[in-house]
Amino acid sequence: FSEDQSRKRADNAAQNFSVLTKIALNLLKNEKTLKVGVRGKRLKAGWDNRYLEKLINL
């Protein structure tokens, strides 16, 4: 998620973003229908809205 290059400096924005990042990583790791790594799942979620909805359980 490129946290080192991130420019979040206001109050506790970095902490909030860290929590969201952990949630996203857990969602990606727990999804078992694709036999690719976390990076591949992130790419697919960016390309395919149905897959993204499946990840976040909508």
Question: Quick one: pLDDT at residue 45?
Answer: 93
Share of the chain above pLDDT 90, in %: 50
Question: Quick one: pLDDT at residue 16?
Answer: 84
Determine which helix (DSSP H) or strand (DSSP E) holds 44, and give its type and residue range: helix 38-47
Determine if residue 57 is left, alpha or beta; phi over 0 gives left, psi from -120 to 50 gives alpha, anything else beta: left
Q: What is the pTM of this model?
A: 0.69
Question: Quick one: pLDDT at residue 51?
Answer: 94
